[in-house]
Amino acid sequence: MATSTVENYLKHMLLLSEGGEELVPMGALAEALAVVPGTVTTMVKALADSGHVEHRPRQGVRLTAEGRRVALNVLRKHRLVECFLVNVLKMDWAAVDTEAEQLEHAISDEVLDRLDALLGHPETDPHGDPIPSRQGKLDSQVYATLATCVVEKALRIVRITDQSAEFLQFAVQNGLLPGETVRVTERNLASGLVTAKKNAGRPLALGLAAAGKILVQPTR
Amino acid sequence: MATSTVENYLKHMLLLSEGGEELVPMGALAEALAVVPGTVTTMVKALADSGHVEHRPRQGVRLTAEGRRVALNVLRKHRLVECFLVNVLKMDWAAVDTEAEQLEHAISDEVLDRLDALLGHPETDPHGDPIPSRQGKLDSQVYATLATCVVEKALRIVRITDQSAEFLQFAVQNGLLPGETVRVTERNLASGLVTAKKNAGRPLALGLAAAGKILVQPTR
DNA sequence: AGATTTATTTTGACTAATCAAAATCACGAT
DNA sequence: ATCGTGATTTTGATTAGTCAAAATAAATCT
């Protein structure tokens, strides 16, 4: 069995490669895992030996099919656990990421399946992130963000891509939750300012960086 | 935070001391944790430094108040998780111990409390073992067993003290579950044989060792 | 008491995961 | 073609937890 350290390396590689095939730079991995770059090099070499990744020295690292399989399973656990914590235990939306971080490594496949059934096989977690299927299929649709979408059009929020408690708190405070409808009324690249409005609400100003963390799709 | 290794050491000390004050022999701990005795010595000295235990060289080890507090919390997590797995996820009675072994170290106090509420504050886990209260109170009543009880009297099963999957399987197969009523019809110390009978059932023979693992109390 | 058995402790070594800091490489700019 | 910069890799150490096997202490049995 993979240790939880290994599971974390693989999971973050998956997240950093957007579910795709790109090489993940060692530095980005180090950043995401909060370890120094040298540690990542060492670990990645071990992971290459065990067949989980392909290491291109001085370039980066890529998941193998096997590594991807493991990573998807961990991600599935993480996101289903988040669903459980929010939907069943009614926990705070912003706090569950930290909890799931631990539980994703402790939960068995058996428990996972039953949890999935209990929750009614959800397709996304409470932040709107897609849950990999048991077969390892991950819906990685490309969405627009509040920083890139068309102006003055009604949009449905589908996902918040910053999992930090602070950002999630901010999102809750301003009702920017998956499912809600918003409209960007103004966007000024020069000043880096985006103004969004919920149907009946007052306009809300946010920076481009923040706006880019909120994924949207046209309302059907 | 205590590592899960530390949590396991403390939990097993608590279990081996029957919730009490007795010194636990190093060998017994090694056995329970499936490590060699030398490892226990090393670890126990570290635990003594951190104030979790008191080490009496060549005699054994005992939990301090702080160690006991941690151990009770872990045990509470273990048993509440078992309840959840059986009552909510409908998992196999005999399999949940292994699962809970992992989860007890990954679950936060916050999640624990909500789980407790969701389950309606149960007092015992599915095997009949008492669940420590949040304040760290553990009901450690002394019960009779099928090996020690009076003969020909109706008794309620309250607990199965062997958590191994094999034994639990056997218990399920023969309907020896907590809550069920049985009567010991015969007990022969010489041959080491105990014969028990469920109200309407055929007599069942079991060895003294096995009988001693089934705790009972008089039917009220 | 003296000898033997049994439990415990010590010693030396190993693995997984990490860091700090020095060495190396690759790439764009001169 | 060389230089400098930034990313990556190496090297040497450290910590937690473990084992094997030798050393020691305590208990038991003549």
Asked if pLDDT for residue A4 goes beyond 80, the answer is yes
Q: Rounded to whole angstroms, how far apart are CA atoms B39 and B59?
A: 16
- Taking phi first (over 0 means left), then psi (-120 to 50 degrees means alpha), and beta for anything else, what does residue A19 get? left
What pLDDT score does A147 carry? 76
The residue in chain A having the minimum alpha-carbon distance to the alpha carbon of residue B113 is A89
Which nucleotide is nearest to B39 if distance is taken from CA to C1'? D18
Q: Are residues B152 and B136 in the same domain?
A: no
Burial of residue B193, with CB atoms counted within 10 A of its CB: 0-12 exposed, 13-18 middle, 19 or more buried? middle
**Is B204 an interface residue toward A (CB < 8 Å)?**
no
Q: Are residues B77 and B173 in the same domain?
A: no
The residue in chain B having the minimum alpha-carbon distance to the alpha carbon of residue A116 is B89
**Is B119 an interface residue toward A (CB < 8 Å)?**
no
Radius of gyration of chain B (CA): 19
Q: Are residues B68 and B166 in the same domain?
A: no
Q: Are residues A122 and A161 in the same domain?
A: no
* Partners of residue A62 on adjacent β-strands: A54
Provide the number of structural domains found in chain B: 2
Residue pLDDT, tens place only, A143-158:
878 877 778 888 998 8
Q: What is the CATH number of the domain that holds B27?
A: 1.10.10.10
Asked if pLDDT for residue B18 goes beyond 80, the answer is no
- How close does chain B come to A81, measured CA to CA in Å? 11
Q: Are residues A95 and A190 in the same domain?
A: no
Is the C-beta of residue A34 closer than 7 Å to nucleic acid chain C? yes
A116, A139, A162: which is the final residue of a domain?
Answer: A139
Q: Rounded to whole angstroms, how far apart are CA atoms A13 and A32?
A: 9
Q: Are residues A114 and A158 in the same domain?
A: no
Radius of gyration of chain A (CA): 19
What pLDDT score does B46 carry? 98
B156 half-sphere exposure, CB direction, 13 A CA radius: 8
Q: Rounded to whole angstroms, how far apart are CA atoms A140 and A130?
A: 8
Asked if pLDDT for residue A170 goes beyond 70, the answer is yes
Our measurement of CA B110 to C1' C26, in angstroms, reads 50
Which nucleotides of strand D come closer than 7 angstroms to any CB of the protein?
7-12, 16-22, 25-26
B120, B140, B160: which is the final residue of a domain?
Answer: B140
Q: Are residues A81 and A163 in the same domain?
A: no
B116, B140, B164: which is the final residue of a domain?
Answer: B140
Query: Shortest CB distance from A89 goes to which of B85, B91, B114?
Result: B114
Q: Strand, helix or coil at B159?
A: strand
Mean pLDDT of chain B: 90
Across the interface, do A99 and B108 touch by the CB < 8 Å criterion?
yes
Residue pLDDT, tens place only, B140-150:
676 878 877 77
What pLDDT score does A146 carry? 85
Instruction: Give mean pLDDT, residues B49-64.
Output: 97
Asked if pLDDT for residue A209 goes beyond 80, the answer is no
Are A71 and A9 in contact by the 8 Å Cβ rule? The answer is: no
Q: Are residues A55 and A78 in the same domain?
A: yes
Q: What is the CATH number of the domain that holds A190?
A: 2.30.30.90
What pLDDT score does B30 carry? 98
Q: Are residues B54 and B87 in the same domain?
A: yes
* Partners of residue A188 on adjacent β-strands: A193
- How close does chain A come to B102, measured CA to CA in Å? 5
Q: Are residues A76 and A173 in the same domain?
A: no
Q: Are residues A52 and A66 in the same domain?
A: yes
What pLDDT score does B19 carry? 62
Residue span of the structural domain in which B162 resides: 144-218
Amino acid at A91: M
Q: Are residues B10 and B79 in the same domain?
A: yes
What pLDDT score does A132 carry? 96
- What the block records as the tokens of B158 is 């309250």
Across the interface, do A102 and B115 touch by the CB < 8 Å criterion?
no
What is the distance in angstroms between the CA of the first residue and the CA of the last residue of chain B? 44
